[in-house]
Structure 1
């Protein structure tokens, strides 16, 4: 096999190792601090940090840290088991992912939408029949937070160990003597032939839970106020649209950077099981505790922004897939599509061909889907007003994440496509935000 560089970096330098260690230590503290701010300090991060400084870390942790509970741990375990069963046994369309640096093209069963429907119908039926309290997730949130943290850490430790001892596709692993043990090793770790650990955890425990958590916090708000506010309804509508669209287009997701490029380690293991369901739902958590009311004009403006962002996101991805599917014989915005025919090679010495689109949204900005993601994140957070920073965490996180991904994508594509990518950058100069960056 020939070593290729566009799929991963096999060596971790000192800076990377220090950064990884900092992330492992600080990440759980971040989500705990968010919960503490919401639970005890009226969602004020400033007041929370002042309390931390005045009391000292040990006393602060003793007084305010979330506590585990047997009931929450049992519920979280049952949740993982349910989603794992649905993932393993529900029928669904088969699709092929993007070719890996090692030359593999893996098959996936995309049954996420069915799993989402079954989960939410069961939750709704249980609530209507009086079998469960729809606000139970919100009421047991601190215990669930602890349980998710524990599972995310366990998964993040076990994933690289599996990569060292029994990798599924050794050609796609990044293993070297300099590799930090906390970093990701396997690209597509699987148990057996079909149970893909990364694909399962990327979509099921966190993203299926995202809307379920929102609905529970809405029920909690209704229990407190007697009604659900329009900002809560708006953020639930926008985020439900995002989640359902994700599962409708789950086959497309198998060809995105998360699946085709990111190796499975702490960032995805802990991030998808803990950070995603706790941080992406901060708007609903905030509004349940700090209800606000938007004017009809503000509501319409936020809704219009969110729907516009969604339309850009969906149409941009459709344009790229449409042109590639038709080998360039397509029209975008009423004109023949323009593009660059590029080639790249994998470690098995095979040469592959693709299209770099220079028209439609991809002629406006090189990462049109990222721009739409950022705009949609702003709309979601705007439902909470501008008096607190905490509910805007999702927007700031997405900004940093997408900026980082832009840089990483640029390096990867430059290594993968060479002169073809340089030509593309000349034709489409803007990376993330047209006219700005």
Structure 2
């Protein structure tokens, strides 16, 4: 265990309530924004008014749709990023010591994985193999698929932390369901020596590396619809690309 166990019943109840609140409301907030984009022309005000007027059916009448195509596309994306994560060359970096005493190694190849991903996407779009606005046009379905993927990972690693943790010193098992679920149960779960699932998903599949593709896809959709890209879209895409580049360049810090 890497965190002191709460002993007082007040602390336990507060931890459980806060953990449940975060787990329950974050997906709803995420889905609310998605509904505003998909059904209310990106107007948060209009979506809020609809939520107040139909609080029970607002979400239930707009449940996400997961299709076989979206599952295949998302799994293909995950596998592609996993191949880059494993096989793209990069220096090995030893991370600080964990609470359990481990010194884990990471292959820092994120920058080149990002460049390769953008280059392949650009070529596929230029050659006509890929609609550059694909992510934006199918945002709702892909987001729903990503939520299913994330939920599956949460369940798998919640069980793994209890059945076969990599290191008991890097697990957090308090016996309180929501608090343990929120914390994940285990620090840095791995497959093999270098495949770190937390690092992989946070920085690659649905995290930092994907940001640029998302921004460019929405910029492409704006251009397809209106014939131009606004200055605010250009600035937002550019600034976030700088953030992504900076993250991968200084990934060892």
TM over 0.5: yes
Contact 2:66 2:141 in 1 (8 A): yes
| Corresponding residue number in structure 2 for 1:196 | 196
Could you tell me the TM-score, scaled by structure 2's length?
0.91
Q: Is structure 2 residue 91 aligned with structure 1 residue 90? A: no
Q: Secondary structure at the match of 2:129?
A: coil
Q: Which has the higher contact order (CA 8 A, sep 6+)?
A: 2
Offset, 1:178? 4.1
Matched with 2:106 is: 108
Q: Report the counterpart of residue 8 of structure 1 in structure 2.
A: 3
Once the two structures are superposed, the pairs formed by residues 34-433 of structure 1 within 5 Å of their partners are 34-57=33-56, 59-178=57-176, 180-183=179-182, 184-205=184-205, 206-252=207-253
SS at match of 1:80: helix
Counterpart Cα distance in 1 of 2:145 and 2:180? 23
CA distance in 1, matches of 2:235, 2:210: 18
How far did 1:42 drift?
3.6
- In the aligned structure 2, how far is the partner of 1:168 from the partner of 1:44? 46
1:128-178 superposed Cα distances (whole Å, 9 cap, x missing partner): 111111011111111101001111111112112111111112112122334
Aligned-partner SS, 1:95: strand
Contact 1:95 1:107 in 2 (8 A): yes
Q: CA deviation at 1:115?
A: 0.8
Q: CA deviation at 1:23?
A: 1.7
Residue 45 (structure 1) shift: 2.7
The alpha-carbon deviation at position 62 of structure 1 amounts to 4.1
Q: Are the aligned partners of 1:94 and 1:110 in contact in 2 as well (CA < 8 Å)?
A: yes
Q: What corresponds to 1:423 in structure 2?
A: none
Q: Distance in 1 between matches of 2:54 and 2:195?
A: 47
Greater CA deviation, 118-127 or 197-206?
197-206
Going from structure 1 to structure 2, the CA distance change for 1:167 and 1:10 (only over 3 Å counts) comes to farther
Is contact 1:127–1:134 with CA below 8 Å preserved after alignment? yes
In the TM superposition, what is the alpha-carbon distance from 1:43 to its structure 2 partner? 3.0
The TM-score with structure 1 as length reference comes to 0.54
CA distance in 1, matches of 2:64, 2:138: 10
Partner of 1:376: none
Whether the 8 Å contact between 1:32 and 1:65 is mirrored in structure 2 is: no
On the 8 A contact 2:174/2:180 being kept in 1, the answer is: no
C-alpha spacing 1:70/1:177, structure 2 compared with 1 (3 Å)? closer
Q: How many angstroms apart in 1 are the aligned matches of 2:196 and 2:60?
A: 39
Write the distance in 1 (CA, Å) between the matches of 2:153 and 2:15: 21
What's the secondary structure of 2:147's corresponding residue? helix
Runs (5+) with no aligned partner, structure 1: 253-437
Q: Distance in 2 between matches of 1:158 and 1:71?
A: 23
Distance 2:180 2:32 in 1: 27
Q: In structure 2, the residue corresponding to 1:234 is in which secondary structure?
A: helix
Following superposition, the deviation at residue 46 of structure 1 comes to 3.3
CA deviation after TM superposition for structure 1 residue 72, in Å = 2.0
Highest CA radius of gyration, 1 or 2? 1
Equivalent residues, number: 246
- Decide whether the 8 Å contact of 1:110 with 1:251 is kept in 2: yes
Q: How far apart are the structure 2 equivalents of 1:51 and 1:156?
A: 32
Asked if the contact 2:85/2:113 (under 8 Å) is kept, the reply is: yes
Give the RMSD, CA atoms, in angstroms. Answer: 1.8
